[in-house]
Amino acid sequence: MSKIADATFRGKNGSYGFDVYSIDTEFNDVGAVYIFTKRVVDSNGKGSHTFLYIGQTDSLRDRIPNHEKWDCVNRNGVNCICIHRDDDEDSRIAKETDLRARNSTPCNDQ
């Protein structure tokens, strides 16, 4: 499945560009910060996202299909995975921490 949209999400200290994909996307073996979201599109075609889970991984291909939070995100209406590609683990962890500091997510908070 191809990319649906672009999105910019704010953390406590920074903003990050994400590519938005449907939940059935099969990803390559790349590092990224990812956010499971419930996306709603208004009558003007503008999408908004409710964050359900924020994480980071060194391999989207390995992490996403067997994610331990699928039950939680499904219960909360997940329909998108937003990806911010980043191959540097320290950078990913810092971005994940920054995003989580500003955004409450039901599936991180369990």
31-48 CB burial, b ≥16 within 10 A, e <16: bbbbbbbebeeeeeeeee
Whole-structure pTM value: 0.94
Can you give the residue ranges of every domain in the chain?
A: 5-99
Q: Which pLDDT belongs to residue 43?
A: 84
Contacts of residue 68, defined as CB under 8 A and 6 or more positions apart, other chains included, come to none
* DSSP letter string, 74-89: HHTT--EEEEEE---H
Confidence label for 110 from pLDDT (cuts 50, 70 and 90): low
- In this model, does residue 1 exceed pLDDT 70? no
What is d(CA 11, CA 92) in angstroms, rounded to the nearest whole number?
Answer: 13
pLDDT, tens only, 61-85: 999 999 999 999 999 999 999 999 9
pLDDT on residue 46: 83
